[in-house]
Amino acid sequence: METYEILRDLAIILFVAKFCGMASRKAKAPQVAGQIIAGLLLGPSLLGLIHPSDFISQMAEIGVILVMFSAGLETDLSDLIKTGPKALAIACCGVFVPFLCGALLYFGFYGYDGFKTANFFAAMSIGAIMTATSVSITVAVLQELGKVKGTVGTTILSSAIIDDVIGIVVLTFVIGFKNPGEKPSMVIVKTILFFIVACIGGIITYRMFKWLDNRRPHTQRIPILGFVLCFALAYVAEKYFGIADITGAYAAGIILCNLKDADYIDDKAHISTYMIFAPIFFVSIGLKTSLDFTDVRFLLFCLAFVVVALASKIVGCGIMARICRFNFSDSLKIGVGMMTRGEVALIVAQKCLSVGMISSQFFTAVILLIICSSVLTPIFLKLLFAKEPATAD
């Protein structure tokens, strides 16, 4: 492929994503839903104008990273600490309930034939796929609604981050059962180690940024060095600690969120993100979907999978939120905000496939879940928040 060919993809993706995003907004749904539908339209299963490529995956990756960095920057650290224990409880319950429901759903459809059989591992995989919330879509919606900084927004974000970590631990445990080469204890040690490194490194980095910022506020160097921190931490998290890169990017945002120029960095990051990278990310989700409707039992399974995945998150997180003394409306918002699935669910499915625990057929169910949750969550969240006035963000 000639290098200039990417310009064609860029022009088409940005145009159709903007057009569908605007149409989606007109229909009172957030832009993000329209952008995913733009991907479906453009992808191989419908118009076939754009084909998934390394370039699109890489731009989409930067998009996810920057969305998460932005979310971190917009976090109020004191709020996060305040919501900490509650978020932990919500995340745990929001992992346990879907995992259990997912496994039971699989046994219900395909039968239980004993411990450590192929069926057993497939059921564990389906459960593991259901656990991880994809916070990026929720964040984009909360940003659009101006609700990132509220108690509900912060609780959703904190829970989703913790739930990501737990989800990855669950996955490693499930795989560890099947493959004796991977030690579950190492996963826990590595995760704890990452947070220690991020904390110590974060304090030092924050001081350096503060010094720079006091010396020359509002200069280009601040957001550029912020980007450097974001990309570096995302890379280190994934490469050396086996933690999702988006968690690293979010941590980088949190490190800088108390800086005087945090808004300035966020503003610059926001422009690059929303102008180019984020639309490509959301379109790429739509692109990956291949629509295939032949096996009736499997189709029914897919539908049940989606319903169970969404409902179990709402119930799991919602009930724990209610126990944590949120009112009914806020508990529902938290449950709905946590029901989005995205790249992490795909990564888990990919991992389960690669160790032979599920067949590639189940990918369709995961993609259906991602699409449904990404389209439904924004609509539901917008409806739930409709009664309140938007707070300044």
Binding site for its own copies (CB under 8 A): 3-8, 10-11, 14-15, 18, 22, 54-55, 57-58, 61-62, 65, 220-221, 223-225, 227-229, 231-232, 234-235, 238-239, 245, 268-269, 271-272, 274-276, 279, 354
Of the pair 308, 367, the CB lying nearest its own copies is at 367
**Amino acid occupying residue 73:** L
Residue 2 beta carbon to its own copies: minimum distance, rounded to whole angstroms: 8
Of the pair 51, 239, the CB lying nearest its own copies is at 239
Residue 55 beta carbon to its own copies: minimum distance, rounded to whole angstroms: 5
Of the pair 238, 393, the CB lying nearest its own copies is at 238
Q: Give dist(CA 20, CA 335) in Å, integer.
A: 27
Of the pair 3, 294, the CB lying nearest its own copies is at 3
In this structure, are residues 222 and 268 in contact, taking their beta carbons and an 8 Å threshold?
A: no
283 CB-near residues (< 8 Å, 6+ apart): 13, 16, 17, 35, 36, 38, 39, 42, 50, 56, 60
DSSP class of 30 = -
Residue 294 beta carbon to its own copies: minimum distance, rounded to whole angstroms: 31
In this structure, are residues 27 and 289 in contact, taking their beta carbons and an 8 Å threshold?
A: no
In this structure, are residues 133 and 341 in contact, taking their beta carbons and an 8 Å threshold?
A: yes
The H-or-E segment that residue 71 falls in is: helix 54-73
Of the pair 44, 52, the CB lying nearest its own copies is at 52
In this structure, are residues 137 and 377 in contact, taking their beta carbons and an 8 Å threshold?
A: yes
Alpha carbon of residue 344 to chain centroid = 6
Residue 268 beta carbon to its own copies: minimum distance, rounded to whole angstroms: 6
In this structure, are residues 276 and 270 in contact, taking their beta carbons and an 8 Å threshold?
A: no
**Quick check: helix, strand or coil at residue 278?**
helix
**Among residues 157, 114, 120, which one has the least CA distance to residue 137?**
157
Residue 354 beta carbon to its own copies: minimum distance, rounded to whole angstroms: 7
In this structure, are residues 257 and 73 in contact, taking their beta carbons and an 8 Å threshold?
A: yes
**Among residues 313, 388, 286, 274, which one has the least CA distance to residue 135?**
313
Of the pair 215, 387, the CB lying nearest its own copies is at 215
As a residue count, the chain comes to 393
Of the pair 244, 334, the CB lying nearest its own copies is at 244
Residue 74 beta carbon to its own copies: minimum distance, rounded to whole angstroms: 18
Residue 314: phi and psi, rounded to 5, are -60, -45
Residue 252 beta carbon to its own copies: minimum distance, rounded to whole angstroms: 10
Residue 258 beta carbon to its own copies: minimum distance, rounded to whole angstroms: 22
Residue 230 beta carbon to its own copies: minimum distance, rounded to whole angstroms: 8
Of the pair 197, 225, the CB lying nearest its own copies is at 225
Of the pair 17, 371, the CB lying nearest its own copies is at 17
